[in-house]
Structure 1
Amino acid sequence: MKIIYTIILVLVIIFVISFSLQNATDVPIKFYDLFNVSVPAYLLMFIAFLLGVIFTGILDFAERMNLTRTIRQLNKTIRDLKRELRSAEDTMTSEERTGNDRVF
């Protein structure tokens, strides 16, 4: 399995390097008169990719926090219901013990 991982990693690295070499053309970036910059196209794509990864990570973190809170609430509900069930079983057991002496 480690060999397959290594082969895939090498292929991805080769792809990234060849992509970078083929897209080295400068792209001008202007924002009104605040700044005017030229960056290679591959760098611009890489930055856009990283921003997407960061944004997705933040959304994933928020979703995990929400799910953790929901799980905690559901576990509390389960504990409360189990406690209530044990209490009801204890009550029924004690009633059965005292009810066996009765004659109908």
Structure 2
Amino acid sequence: MKILYTIIIVLLILFVVTFSLQNTLQVRLVYYDVLDVILPVYMLILFAFLIGVIFTGFMGIIERYRLNRTINRLNRMVRDLKRDVRENEPPVVREDTRQHDQALQN
């Protein structure tokens, strides 16, 4: 599995390098009077990709936090229910058979 992961990473890096070498055309980004930047197409795509990765990672962290809270709440509920079952169980009564037999003989 580690070899497959390494191969996928190497192929991804190779793709990024060849993509950036083939797409060096300059693009001008203008946003009203706030932003006026000239950068290569691959940088624009890379920035968009990185913003997506960061956003997705952040959403994943939030989802994990919510799931952990739910798991903890459900574990508490299971623990409480087990305690209630133990408290409501009738006690096990075990008689010593020798004493019982002797009492019957007398």
Q: Specify the structure having the higher radius of gyration (Cα).
A: 2
Task: Name stretches of at least 5 consecutive residues in structure 1 with no aligned partner.
Answer: 98-104
Change over 3 Å in CA distance of 1:75–1:5 after alignment to 2? closer
RMSD: 1.9
Partner of 1:25 in structure 2?
A: 25
Partner of 1:57 in structure 2?
A: 57
Whole-angstrom distance in 2 between the partners of 1:7 and 1:65? 32
Q: Deviations over 1:62-102 (max 9, x none)?
A: 1111111111110010010010011011xx126x67xxxxx
Whole-angstrom distance in 2 between the partners of 1:76 and 1:19? 52
Query: How far off is 1:13 after superposition?
Result: 2.1
Look up the equivalent residue of 2:79 and give its one-letter code: R
Partner of 1:75 in structure 2?
A: 75
Aligned residue-pair number: 94
Task: Name stretches of at least 5 consecutive residues in structure 2 with no aligned partner.
Answer: 95-106
Whole-angstrom distance in 2 between the partners of 1:58 and 1:40? 27
Judge which range, 61-70 or 7-16, deviates more.
7-16
What TM-score does the superposition give when structure 2 sets the normalisation length? 0.78
What TM-score does the superposition give when structure 1 sets the normalisation length? 0.79
